[in-house]
Structures are given as C-alpha cells and as structure tokens.
Amino acid sequence: MISKRSFLLVAACTSPFVLGLTACKKGGSGADANEIVIGEVAALTGGTATFGTSSNAGTRMAIDEINAAGGLLGKKLRLVTEDDQSKAGEAGAVAKKLISRDKVVALLGEVASGRSLEMAPIAQKAGVPMISPASTNPKVTEAGDHVFRVCFIDPFQGTVMGKFAISRGWKKVAILTDAKQDYSVGLSQFFKEYFAANGGTITSEQSYSSGDKDFKAQLTKIKADTPDAIFASGYYNETGLIATQARELGIAAPLLGGDGWDSPSLVEVAGPAIEGSFFSNHFSTEDQSPRIQEFVKKYQALNGRLPDAMAALGYDSAMILADAIKRAGTTEGGPLRDAIAATRDFDGITGRITLDPNRNANKPAVILTIADGKFRYVETIQP
C-alpha cells in the first residue's frame, strides 16, 4: 500500500507546476510526459570536487537558460545530477541508476577520464547518448558510437606542451605521473612521444598514486638530473603538493602540466611554489571576445567566482545536447545520437565545435601561466 506521504510526493513531482522543487530534482520520480530528463554524473565531493562543482554549475546555467527560453520540443528540461564522490567505481554505478531509475535521455559527464571510461560502456550498451564535457583521454570515445566529447584529446594536449617546452629552449624534462589516473598516464605518454621525437631528453619518469601526500622520494630522484622543467601530468590536488615539496627540496625548475591543473585549489595549496609554471587548458577568462566576457560575467554573478574550463565545457556540453535534441525533433536514442554526431561549427564558449567521425572535437588549446596567484593567458595553439 502506498503511504499518504509518498503519494503526495509523487503527485507533486509529476505536476508541471512544481518542477523546480529540490525533492523532484534528485531523481526517483522517473520521466514525466511534460519534461525531458537529462542525467549528469559529476564529482561534487572528494579529491577532485572542484571539477564536479564547476561542470555542474556550467551545465545548470545552460539548462536554466534553455528552460527560460521555453524549453525544447514543447517540454522543460530537468537535470538530475549524481555525485560520484571522485571515487573509482561510483561513476559507473550512478550512470546505471540514472538510466534505469530516471530514464534519462542522455548522460552528461564525467570530467575525469577514468570515470568517463566507467560510464561509457554502460551508456553505449543502453543506447543512451553520453557527452563528456572534459575527458581528454582518447580511449573514452572509443567505447562506442554513442559516446561523445566536446573537448580536444590528449595526443593534441601532450603535443602542445611538448612544443611549448621546446620553444622555451628546455632540453631536459622529467616526468611525474599519477599512475592511478588514465588521464595522467596518457598525457605523460603523449608529451614524452612528442618531446623525445623532437630533440628533447626525458631525464627521469616517476610516478605516484592519487591521494598520495609525500612526493619527496620521486622529487629527489628528479632533482639529481637537474632537468629544465618537470612535466607533472596529474590533477590539481597532488600537483599543489608536488610544487610545494619541489621548492622545499631546492628545485627551481618550472612545472608543466595539462588541464587537470585547472582549479582555484591549485594556487590555494601551492601559493608561491606554483608561480611561473605553465599548463594547457580549454579556455581563458582573459579572452576579450564579447561572447566569453558575457559568459564570465553571468557565471560570476550566479556563482560568486570566475568560471574555470570545466564550467565552460559543462555549459557547452549541455548546449550541444540541446541543439541536437532540437535538430532531431525527438529524444529517442538513435536519432538523438545521429543529431549529436552531426554537430558542425557549434559556437561554444570554449571555441567552435565540430564533432569528427571519432566523436571528438578538434579545438585550439590555450597555455596559461600562474602569476601573482592568478591564471594568466600566454598563447593559443591551433590543432
């Protein structure tokens, strides 16, 4: 027998007038004929929490804008977000839940490549299109024809940083990899391939595991070869500690990295130790184009902080999905998949997005440096 309380909740959640209620947003109510349910998997807590909070804020901003403009196909969009806690194993579990419980028409997420790799085969098998905003490891979209991303991939990102190191005249570079993250392992590999093939020498290859706090043993080995720079391909948390400990050991060489550094926490943890280092990214808040400045202003007003790359990519991923739903004229998996695959010259916040036959986006990267505690734009590298 259905209790009075749960009956009321179900009734409230199926009423078109109360779709904004928090109780309805957390899923559990299944799809309603008057709404389109979109699932999002994000790390809202745990070791990479700024990835999820930012991508979620950008995604929500897009969904709210679409609903304010009248929704899609005569319906409102409802975003159901699940927190995977930055934990291995969780992203796959919550993706399954979103598909079976909430009957989502598509999945947005994850940011971290390892977690997108958990979700991808699940989305593929269910015939539910998935768009990762920010996972750059090439293997993610290889999971099948329902898996897309709106960002560039790491063979490009590794090359960008390899070229940059060479352009600075750095001949000897040490590599420090997070062996627990597919992203970091791949990025180190692609950097090494380019750098070594273009006259550079890799002095040492060291590794650690996500969550480690002490990097002195690896850094001591790195220091012995006096490299010109250290390529630290992991995420922001460990990178902040690596920078601090490198300076404590008297290593003055700059650190180089990829988009995984992008978090306000990097500077909070490392302070002066990260000044003068460089990383590649998808977006710079210093880009003066009116479109980007408008996004930056609106995001800042809504969230009280500047958008980072995940925020901009989260926004773009939701907007690309919405554009495809509109073109498909339906949310059915097959036609929706085809419409996403047909995305051409989409004018995103992170650049013009065309999805290639491998469901990846060919886009420029920016290089940023850290100066006076801020991420400052250095240059743009075209693919």
Q: Where do contacts with ligand PHE occur on this chain (CB under 6 A)?
A: 51, 111-113, 134-137, 183, 259-260, 262, 309-310
Shorter beta-carbon distance to ligand PHE: residue 176 or 310: 310
Shorter beta-carbon distance to ligand PHE: residue 181 or 203: 181
Shorter beta-carbon distance to ligand PHE: residue 31 or 88: 88
Report the nearest approach of ligand PHE to the CB of residue 181 (Å). Answer: 7
Report the nearest approach of ligand PHE to the CB of residue 178 (Å). Answer: 10
Report the nearest approach of ligand PHE to the CB of residue 190 (Å). Answer: 12
Handedness of CA 190, 191, 194, 200 (dihedral sign): negative
Report the nearest approach of ligand PHE to the CB of residue 137 (Å). Answer: 5
Shorter beta-carbon distance to ligand PHE: residue 27 or 52: 52
**C-alpha–C-alpha distance, residues 84 and 66, integer Å:** 26
**3-state SS record for the chain:** CCCHHHHHHHHHHHCHHHCCCHHHHCCCCCCCCCEEEEEEEECCCCCCHHHHHHHHHHHHHHHHHHHHCCCECCEEEEEEEEECCCCCCHHHHHHHHHHHCCCCCEEECCCCHHHHHHHHHHHHHHCCCEEECCCCCHHHHHHCCCEEECCCCHHHHHHHHHHHHHHCCCCEEEEEEECCCHHHHHHHHHHHHHHHHCCCEEEEEEEECCCCCCCHHHHHHHHHCCCCEEEECCCHHHHHHHHHHHHHCCCCCCEEECHHHCCHHHHHHHHHHHCCCEEEECCCCCCCCHHHHHHHHHHHHHHCCCCCHHHHHHHHHHHHHHHHHHHHCCCCHHHHHHHHHCCCCEEECCEEECECCCCCECCCEEEEEEECCEEEEEEEECC
Shorter beta-carbon distance to ligand PHE: residue 183 or 295: 183
The number of angstroms, rounded, from the C-alpha of 200 to the middle of its chain's C-alpha atoms is 29
Report the nearest approach of ligand PHE to the CB of residue 220 (Å). Answer: 28
Shorter beta-carbon distance to ligand PHE: residue 55 or 203: 55
Peptide bond into 238 cis (omega under 30): no
Shorter beta-carbon distance to ligand PHE: residue 218 or 237: 237
Report the nearest approach of ligand PHE to the CB of residue 187 (Å). Answer: 8
The closest of 266, 295, 275 to 283, measured between CA atoms, is 295
Shorter beta-carbon distance to ligand PHE: residue 170 or 375: 375
**C-alpha–C-alpha distance, residues 316 and 292, integer Å:** 12
Shorter beta-carbon distance to ligand PHE: residue 203 or 237: 237
8 A C-beta contact, residue 187 and residue 258: yes
Report the nearest approach of ligand PHE to the CB of residue 45 (Å). Answer: 16
Shorter beta-carbon distance to ligand PHE: residue 135 or 284: 135
Report the nearest approach of ligand PHE to the CB of residue 6 (Å). Answer: 39
Report the nearest approach of ligand PHE to the CB of residue 383 (Å). Answer: 16
Report the nearest approach of ligand PHE to the CB of residue 120 (Å). Answer: 12
